[in-house]
Structure 1
């Protein structure tokens, strides 16, 4: 027996010892790490070691902590030497020094980072550093376990669950988040988020450590006033604590399998993110909501446009001041003139002086001065006379701006007052005529050389691109990149020539497909009907839809356009649409029938609609909310589908609509009466869907009377509205498959909210924000009246509930539509 044990120990020492030490969760004086060595938390959730950020060029290395498993993308959550990179990790070393501190030494033995625990040097007791499953690196005494330092008290740009983000009132130390400089450089960037040092229970984001441009609002006991979407989110437990020792915000996850982080992005937005089963980070809430509301997000002279990618651009006559940083997402340096200003202090605008270029659609900056000028020409000359004047605008009065212009935004349309930016006269098209001869001669010489080379490489390049383009696009989509312009043939092959039809709707048929290189399942919608938009407009509208991302909205991966064939490529939802789960037609997961799942589906769909109505730059009215357009992923998270398509397929769509769209049974009365349509039409449709979630049946189907409750007979929305208005017990409205197993308080809230949503007068209907707050239980819901339109439909219930219900509804809609026209 002893010889067997000895033999096993020898085998471990020879073959396995080094691997075991590398897999340890501890760093000590005797077990440092360098090169590719890492330490992993005991449960395997987090890893610490040397890394080089993606996009950083691979020349700078840092010590950091990142997710070890589940998250397929390397996502650093903490960086030690963020401002002092090292060049060679193989000859660098992270260890616990003799004075008890964690220290990082570079290739020449110089200390570039230390935990700087002053009390550690006064003791001879050994210390060790341990990486925990919470993502926290803890330095503690080897004997006794006294914690000397921990990374959770020194966050970088990320706050993990359980981390206290706030202020130590005893020491005065703050725990703020500081953005990275850019995607390839974790050095402290321009944006900082921290608690109000004056003691109020709110957080703010500042630019350049000086100017505050966003605040969370004060804590009201459940959430921050300025972030209503975080209120009682069922997957998170938020808290704010303020006592004699500290004030801090923290959050936790009831489900230990969830992965979430709070990040202050390079762009200056703070986002609560969750790792989704589709292998990507999904945004739960963001502040500020609009990227262009971030102060100086595009730097001096940079123009912000949330609908474009990238979101920052330079106006005519300007280019990025730092092209390398610009490509990595750091736009803080802004834009500079293509050619330096040649200010001569006079009125000369020839090639030797300065001139102005218009910036169409760009908003006017604030803080202008207003000199006396009777015309646009006088205003222009007034700006030319001052070398510090950089722009002017004239719209009845003269406005001048000086220095670098910040917070410029592309409004997407013509401005009443056009902004003119000062540039070198060389950059004004009209001033180039004098150089035209020289340019033509230069072009002729260069062209002869280029032509000879082009003939040689043209055929080779064309063939190579043809082979690679399809592969590149498909790989980009499989890897979760940005919106992809697919080739039609690629999508056709991915769907096996559109052979597996998933269903159809108002805008076209949907087919299942699979992307190569990873097997990602997709759903392809073939848009049908007359598309009265051109190719350019189609692409622009699709890109607008593509940048809209929310955990409760279906993600658009890409599109394809070939002649009259238009395709939209979405993520595939394995649990199908809500109608199949509620009304049958396919096997439904057992959990889908529980009240808890139904209530969360209703709440999630409401949050998705709220984001469309208020979270996007331009309000989006869905126009066709119904169970068929609420999809469920593998975890039964609801995803609103087909948003934005009403605008894409319409000819005259704006915030006020007059054309009848949608599905009979969910249409608000204003669709039929001809009243202009607003977001309240979506609220009405949502109310009808909410009633179906409660009952598990189509609203238009007859409810037979029962011995227990004869009042249940009739048109269900009317039955529900009457019971709610009379204060009667509502458990009889539940889907019989639930067998009464439901939270009666949630049931009452859901029924009251639904009946308010389907009121005839849209002014009496709540907003989707009020719907979310009501379902969350944040606000009380009064007893709603019975809508007149439901009473009118209920009077004809014998006919409405017959086998000819569909035909009746069609006749009803045709009659009123023709009458209103």
Structure 2
């Protein structure tokens, strides 16, 4: 029957090309001789072969916005291409695909072969697409002669084995399926990503990868539970990445931008489960040739390094007399020999992606020798040299992007080879005969010229010593005259310090500090208007003593250099005697707590999500995007400010402390706010940026519920299902009061998968269960008792944006919430106004230990 259908279809295609079909022509098996082209399909679907259940289809179709056609296998439900035959030789809509007993062939209208299967061991009997997505040619005995799984393109599917030596090759763009510059290669020990054969990522270095054994890898396989690198017997797992998301059809894809990702198709949409590398700056060509990539969590900022400028979308030397050498060929070799070779230094805070994945070309040599090695090699375009070890790294053939490291301990310096197009020297001079061209008068005047130079040198040296002594004398006088304001002199000397205001300016701007708009642990904030009509927030530092001075110096020296859309910008400062002021940008909607907990308009769900995302981005920048790592240590709704269009900015770095990127140590002067303090404050555990992650998780729960986590509520009773009945609206003088600890309720509702009950009731059903689930799961992951289990803020941003899969809260690390919650949920029946005061006092006694107690413990 299948053969009759195929013959009928063949006759229609050959003899009736103008016949209009009402729909796609498709079957589950095709026999030779069969010819098809895209132009035959009136509905442009291009489908002519289906898998038994229709999960996959064989098509000849064009990519969107493209006029090129490809013979491809496509996942039907998502319309995602998983394999293409002629990716380097695209078809026109009238080019033909032919199935004969010798195999598959694609030819153009002139009869030229664009693509074909290799010679086969026997004659083809049928072409089929399996439910796995594998396209197969079989003989009369159903023996496989050829299969697409043996020739992967840029995508793998579940059940598709990738042996050692096989690879995925990226496309050029989303529309151009031609082979691009990126390669995912399976080696006998790992999976690596390469750009122009230079490694820039390994699976084993990813935090989600687990190494189970040290055996040699022979096969990579993906199924419904994870991605596995298997040993030769295929029973031992060497490295694995486990999937935690809902089960669905999964693909692994090497994107044209250079990132390998694994996604699951669930509920008719793709859910990202894994991506590597996570940071965009780790992708080699993200900013183009010699472009400088600065890390912003899950994003990248591109610029040109010093001594280079952007010219026609490419970083070129600022000095127009210099040029970059081209690829190594006969022409370029000659141009390098006829030009003056020099090197432009990149500075200490830049590195190259490939340096950490290869051995240096030479060790124990100085920079001059390293550069000589590059100068003698026309394929060498730049060098990196490590001062401490004398290691020399040669960058050859093609340059990718540079990475801004902001690491003061890096002693690997980079130098870009440049060519100076100067005319060659006189051949006679090159032979060493320059002395014959000196005028004789020059020989006579040389001694007198040397005497004059010596006299000038002595004069300048005496003058420099005299000025230096005079400067020291003046400095000593100033120090004696201004001993009471030495701290102010210290502040003035801080590099990059913002504008300094006079006290009188700020007093006039704030009308003698008339309008108070906020108050914090270290100061009071007033609204002010500068002479140029700029509205600002003026924070008066009210704490006294050494600690207040230290916080002030920290703020002006660090915040003044920070520029991020989700962080309040420091405009300037004022120092007058022992008085300290900060001038900050003004946020006209005040703090999140007044908006979230107040009586104004209810924040809609999307607004809450935007606030959560903006806050996460700001913290992620503090933790990893700055020159130094910064711990906020007082993340709470009062320190999250909003502008007119709900733009989110984090404020109050007065209690921030700095640590280096490699350092995690215990601090003794950090303080926070009750209800947001991480458990490690009460133990001997080290304090790291994970304390901010914990505080953020607590804030996120409040964003979901629209109320304080530790809240005093009236209540009727708690039902058997732990549902909360009653509320503040049912208050009466004889009400029963109960102290609710919302994080515990969130944990219990998570265990029962009843997320919608946690949403702010004022939303009145304006949010879906899965939307609440997303934020609650992220929040619970953030408040794990074990800091190591908490995600980084960069990963939180990824989960909120959908770039990373949602984490699964670990209940064993959340059981501490039950102990906290037990104290908060003790009830008491009280009558009269005095009872309310007693209840509030009880609440305060049951809440977190005070910051003063913490300081004592530390």
Query: What is the TM-score normalised by the length of structure 2?
Result: 0.47
Query: What is the TM-score normalised by the length of structure 1?
Result: 0.49
* Bigger Cα Rg: 2
